[in-house]
Structure 1
């Protein structure tokens, strides 16, 4: 098979996988608490990447483990819980749209913490992205949902993602994505396990209407949305380059909106225009 065709296949699969994560969270929350869904996601992802963990842990210097664990907290652990908490009150489509703000935070933290240089175009993209998020809240949250502020949990999660990108760039160069993800997710699974066990996880199977469907959605979320997707993303970077791989950011919210519409969520034209504004800001931030 032609490598370009394979690259586009992986690209589309990543958009579908990551874009479906938000509706899978909603399905998991039908029967479980946000803390249980997030814990199941992290544990499932850690188990899925366990073979890679055993391979890479021997190659990882002990002095780097605290930084890798911190990267895991920022890149997977904390956001997993924040997203699930947010989706108890907001639509999965809105969560997918807000998630697209991550590259803007990466630039912002690079400027504030590491004094990285930025062009006027990137600063303009930063401003446009922030305006787009504010308008998105106005278009969806404040006017139609008294719990609009739960969307701020998503914004905080994207801030964690952005900070993690900067952290990895400055302190974890030389380590492959697969190495970092498999090692960090193992420790995230270890942290999530007691949270799940102490949450009376079995109660849902006695009282909920569709616990097995929610369990399946949460496990697929972890295995596919975090574990397998990370491996695919790593492969796409190697075969097509980081710039092409980063374009997944643009396809992900489209899939999230599609699933939201199928689930009966309301998505209006104004929201789509706000998303276009955020994407325009992200484009200005990332454009070489």
Structure 2
């Protein structure tokens, strides 16, 4: 049991590192591509990686689980990739985007209570609330929130809601499927749709003539292969091993990694920001500690 908990935390840490570092690749991607092109190419490359495995593993799916896998890929990867890329392309405030993205655990709890009759232990509700409070304080400690282009914040919120819905979908209907099989089939399926959008958007038009476009496409490919394909396998595995709420708390680990990158870049980090990170991590610990400890 202890070994299983350690493995869960290791997966949690790796996912936090991957998604917390994704903003670096997205920043490079923006140099030569627009939001629609980034979203389409990201999921296309992720699906391309999984296509051979999907053809092998497809025999393990019934028609029902295949359609549910496609729905999972749509809610968990395809549509959010477009929504996030478009919002970031329109310069939405990063603090506001981080706060909205970190609503995922709260939305998981809310949807579970309203639609899935999921019992929520008090320690999980308290822990999620503590972590979110720490995230709010962290955002304000970094200079507050700008409402410039705040209309695009709705796109981030919709994406976050889709993440929460997908967690319940996987937890209730797809938890018995091998995470690698599920990730390969779901991403290969939606990758075809993303490829069509990438072609319609003429995403590779500047490949031969623009070095910026080549760097952007390369960064987007890494974003798809690591940030979507590899991370999705780990995420489905974490949902299967530790439950959807614990997996959703990865969004609380993202600002910790972002601050870490700031330290590497020699950006100033205040004592208040460190205290906020401790509060966030403390909330994650409270939400996942055993009852009675």
Pairwise TM-score range, normalised by the shorter structure: 0.7 to 0.9
Partner of 1:166: 168
Q: Judging changes above 3 Å, is the alpha-carbon distance between structure 1 residues 29 and 268 closer, same or farther for their aligned structure 2 residues? A: farther
Partner of 1:198: 200
Contact 2:25/2:223 (8 A) holds in 1? yes
Partner of 1:153: 155
Question: What is the number of equivalent residue pairs in this alignment?
Answer: 287
**Comparing 84-93 with 271-280, which one deviates more in the overlay?**
271-280
Find the residue that maps to 2:195 and give its secondary structure: helix
State the shift of 1:264 in Å: 9.0
State the shift of 1:203 in Å: 3.9
Paired with 1:261 and 1:34, the residues of 2 have a C-alpha distance of 28
Partner of 1:46: 47
Partner of 1:179: 181
Whether 2:228 is the aligned partner of 1:215: answer no
What is the CA deviation profile of residues 109-144 of structure 1, one whole-angstrom value per residue up to 9, with x for unaligned ones? 111111111233333345445555655665568644
Contact 1:19/1:253 (8 A) holds in 2? yes
Partner of 1:55: 56
Find the residue that maps to 1:255 and give its secondary structure: helix
State the shift of 1:201 in Å: 1.9
Q: If the length of structure 2 is used for normalisation, what is the TM-score?
A: 0.77
Contact 1:129/1:279 (8 A) holds in 2? yes
Q: Judging changes above 3 Å, is the alpha-carbon distance between structure 1 residues 11 and 144 closer, same or farther for their aligned structure 2 residues? A: closer
State the shift of 1:271 in Å: 6.1
Contact 2:171/2:240 (8 A) holds in 1? no
RMSD in angstroms over aligned alpha carbons? 4.0
What is the CA deviation profile of residues 190-215 of structure 1, one whole-angstrom value per residue up to 9, with x for unaligned ones? 11112111113244447856111111
Q: Judging changes above 3 Å, is the alpha-carbon distance between structure 1 residues 111 and 220 closer, same or farther for their aligned structure 2 residues? A: same
Q: If the length of structure 1 is used for normalisation, what is the TM-score?
A: 0.78
Q: Judging changes above 3 Å, is the alpha-carbon distance between structure 1 residues 236 and 114 closer, same or farther for their aligned structure 2 residues? A: closer
Q: Judging changes above 3 Å, is the alpha-carbon distance between structure 1 residues 175 and 239 closer, same or farther for their aligned structure 2 residues? A: closer
Q: Judging changes above 3 Å, is the alpha-carbon distance between structure 1 residues 48 and 57 closer, same or farther for their aligned structure 2 residues? A: same
Paired with 1:86 and 1:40, the residues of 2 have a C-alpha distance of 16
Paired with 2:74 and 2:134, the residues of 1 have a C-alpha distance of 27
Find the residue that maps to 1:186 and give its secondary structure: helix
Structure 1: segments with no counterpart, 5+ residues: none
Structure 2: segments with no counterpart, 5+ residues: none
Partner of 1:69: 70
